[in-house]
Structure 1
């Protein structure tokens, strides 16, 4: 068979369902081999979107999502989405076509050294320079992508190698085993917790990656320790649990700042340091950290680790629960954090002012969605509001990119999420800036007949940047832009679409969109004057 056919055969052996990508001249052998494969190739309208889709697939399933592009501009377009998945710790395997080996030693049409370019944004990558190494390369790419912590790998396939004849078979797929922390380490951790008067759990995305949410919930109920979530850890504990202090991650002060200030031990579980810098919640480095994760903690002056508990998070939480002696803690010291945050959501429930306030949009969205519905936030000012105020019942029901945090992730992400969870409601929350970066994927959603809902917050500008500018300089600079008629744009792709003209219509429009079981776009003008009002309000917090 051809090398391209063996590559496809190896991916079938890995259980690949979809490959997201854009075909090109240098990968035509792979594309032809896929014609005879059970793997479904999803043609996207941009390579970055393909990598965003693969990353979301990996995040939701725990299996590597696969994306493909040709050499040169196709590969460099793909790079952003690969980097996004790698920093979000989502398993992904990227495949790029490449110039033939005979012209890689000189300046050549569309040729760049992709192994060198991809090296900083992947866990591992390699070029296939010999036909017979394909089974090893594919097996290693999938193996490394799913070794904790998850991330991206990259295979570069020159076009002349892809067309070579080869004999070979896929290598056996071997599952990962995760060790547990030794009993003496668990005992030390339990003693630290028993000694603490005001311990606070910081729940990160690693809890979801390790399927440890139920173990966390059991631990919390048994020990009465309050929990705050990172943006990507949302849903590890249901927001309705009285122990949930909801979500942290805003730059500067928030109510939870007082909780961090008063705590004498932060129990960081599955915490990924890239998404929430410790200087934001431990500025004086005074609070000790108990680090529970699959890898030792990153070195950070504001993350003073007292003890690392490394290994299978599920099993270590289970063992820790049985070792902790103190069970009757009082959490009154931190209850006001939860009460004040929830009161904000209630405060705007019946707001009728127009354009629609962010708090009202979040309130209506939460009211119409069930516990299993999936919300995917793009990057922008709306992300801050979603992260802070859209509260979750379950893991992986509010998906936020907070590692690389690339704009444009939501629409491609919603497409992949709906493919993985066809029976669940999937809503992409976008700003008008982020939406237009990947809006061509509306065609992809229509082609695949995916009933996603796009809730577009329109303010004719880069709202998050303006927010930062106003905080820093009291004036904005170069953030405004024009927009198309989003309703007509969406309809031209075949979407149902509607524009919100008055605030009272938003909730019923969301209900209609969810019930329709078709692709829908809702154009909702947003009042981002609330951004600075929130900044001023939080700036007055006295712990």
Structure 2
């Protein structure tokens, strides 16, 4: 039956499966390999499901992950929840105890369907051998039709190991193809267009849903015609070019506070956008939200009666037609001045190369070196995780193409970095994958360096080593008799040496020249390379995540 499972996945168009094998799923993994599907074997189920989930985001088809039952499924649920929160299409497959051993304390026995159900669009177990292919097809299709998310299929050992009677056959499945797309209600589109046309300070917010939907062409046409100032969410970067003068990222707070009408494309009014509420937004702001799921409209500070349900690309075309010759008013003077001031301030900050180095100076050196050594025709995908590492990098690496920034996402999930980098290289093998990791975040999945080396998936990984979570501590604390703070990590851990032990190339750097030399060697070597960047521990910094600080209610 393992061969039937593999053939079904092949018929569905699956090219990669991520996971970890063990009894009874080894047979499935070997059958996948025999069918020409690449099986990428990880060291931890969390990293494997993170990889599969972002593979789904990058390809527009569900990423598939295969794990063992019991603890394997529990570990994998981190990736399943990450897929749910970010609306990434994922199909998780797991082995389970033989059917006749249920409730007897079988090997790794767990009610895995019940465990997965809260985080999935569908979780099921086949009732018979013949029901496996249609159930797999349904789970695969469900993961990416409608709002994307995770699905789960439980594969009991007796199903996997079943032998078909000689001459028997099981009906094959058909690839569902691209999911259907719909337009919004024309009357509501007209209402939205009138509201936008009346705005004194409109703002276009572009979320990662636009990137996932491959709607960049439609959204760019809408933007070019209307010239509405825009603000990308972290993974919405590149849908519209970061280097455009109407990109308000450098004046984010001022732009949000100034907006009286917001056109919200492929994004939700969650913590990342401060719930669409005061004090970050005006109390009287109106949201024209475009989403594939009607239940999302009206949440938090949103306006349900102004929402548009449909494919963001098609709805953007409808809005473009309804707006006619409309052109946005100019950026408010105060917002423009704030943007100019912040751009100048950022330029000054990243030019400060006084040791020990800060994030901004390191990122400038990386950015400039990559610009010199990577051909203009080669795409770069940036992966970033870690609070300060990720937050600062968002503005340090401008993007002009979508789906080129992968980060901790809606759940701010730490540990996604190596899985995301490996998946990106599988999905887009010609691209250069650059992972920028906080040292704490890197610790969640550092062993996957071995996975990348073994799988021959070259990439460049920077570990921003400040010896702590959020920030490090005074080096003298390590020789004190007092206990270290909970945020402290070992001082200047040799992550490059760990990489070398795992078969990768490693460098330790602490100066701008060393960063540039290591980056050039890494890119030209076409190997898995870890560059351990020793930076300022930031021991006097306040422990706070900037985006959340301003939304705390006043007491």
1:313 equivalent in structure 2: 312
| Superposition deviation, residue 389 in structure 1 | 3.6
**Compared with structure 1, are the counterparts of its residues 210 and 49 closer, same or farther at alpha carbon in structure 2 (3 Å cutoff)?**
same
When the two chains are superposed, the root-mean-square deviation of aligned CA atoms in Å is: 2.5
**Compared with structure 1, are the counterparts of its residues 230 and 534 closer, same or farther at alpha carbon in structure 2 (3 Å cutoff)?**
farther
**Compared with structure 1, are the counterparts of its residues 384 and 86 closer, same or farther at alpha carbon in structure 2 (3 Å cutoff)?**
same
Indicate conservation of the 8 Å contact 2:382/2:405, yes or no: yes
Taking structure 1 as the reference length, the TM-score comes to: 0.90
* Greater alpha carbon shift after TM alignment, 500-509 vs 210-219: 500-509
| Superposition deviation, residue 109 in structure 1 | 3.3
**Compared with structure 1, are the counterparts of its residues 490 and 87 closer, same or farther at alpha carbon in structure 2 (3 Å cutoff)?**
same
Is the counterpart of residue 278 in structure 1 residue 281 in structure 2?
A: no
**Compared with structure 1, are the counterparts of its residues 281 and 344 closer, same or farther at alpha carbon in structure 2 (3 Å cutoff)?**
farther
Indicate conservation of the 8 Å contact 1:246/1:391, yes or no: no
2:470 equivalent in structure 1: 463
* Greater alpha carbon shift after TM alignment, 162-171 vs 271-280: 271-280
**Compared with structure 1, are the counterparts of its residues 349 and 276 closer, same or farther at alpha carbon in structure 2 (3 Å cutoff)?**
closer
Give the one of 208, 213, 237 matched to 2:211.
208
1:398 equivalent in structure 2: 405
Query: How many angstroms apart in 1 are the aligned matches of 2:543 and 2:244?
Result: 25
Give the one of 440, 451, 454 matched to 1:447.
454
Indicate conservation of the 8 Å contact 2:276/2:302, yes or no: no
1:189 equivalent in structure 2: 192
Is the counterpart of residue 361 in structure 1 residue 377 in structure 2?
A: no
Taking structure 2 as the reference length, the TM-score comes to: 0.88
**Compared with structure 1, are the counterparts of its residues 512 and 31 closer, same or farther at alpha carbon in structure 2 (3 Å cutoff)?**
closer
* Greater alpha carbon shift after TM alignment, 488-497 vs 296-305: 296-305
Query: How many angstroms apart in 1 are the aligned matches of 2:118 and 2:206?
Result: 28
* Greater alpha carbon shift after TM alignment, 299-308 vs 159-168: 299-308
Indicate conservation of the 8 Å contact 1:10/1:169, yes or no: no
Residue-pair matches, total: 522
Query: How many angstroms apart in 2 are the aligned matches of 1:65 and 1:182?
Result: 32
Query: How many angstroms apart in 1 are the aligned matches of 2:272 and 2:511?
Result: 36
| Superposition deviation, residue 107 in structure 1 | 3.4
Indicate conservation of the 8 Å contact 2:50/2:416, yes or no: yes
What's the secondary structure of 1:276's corresponding residue? helix
2:476 equivalent in structure 1: none
Q: 1:301-354 deviations in whole A, cap 9, x for unaligned?
A: 322344111112112111211221431521244323532443243113432212
| Superposition deviation, residue 40 in structure 1 | 1.4
What's the secondary structure of 2:187's corresponding residue? helix
1:42 equivalent in structure 2: 40
| Superposition deviation, residue 32 in structure 1 | 3.9
Q: 1:380-431 deviations in whole A, cap 9, x for unaligned?
A: 3211112244321111111112222321111121111112222221111111
**Compared with structure 1, are the counterparts of its residues 535 and 114 closer, same or farther at alpha carbon in structure 2 (3 Å cutoff)?**
closer
Matches within 5 A, 1:365-514: 365-370=366-371, 372-463=379-470, 477-482=485-490, 484-514=493-523
* Greater alpha carbon shift after TM alignment, 434-443 vs 399-408: 399-408
Instruction: Identify unmatched segments of 5+ residues in structure 2.
Output: 474-483, 551-555
| Superposition deviation, residue 272 in structure 1 | 3.0
Query: How many angstroms apart in 1 are the aligned matches of 2:144 and 2:472?
Result: 35
Query: How many angstroms apart in 2 are the aligned matches of 1:404 and 1:515?
Result: 35
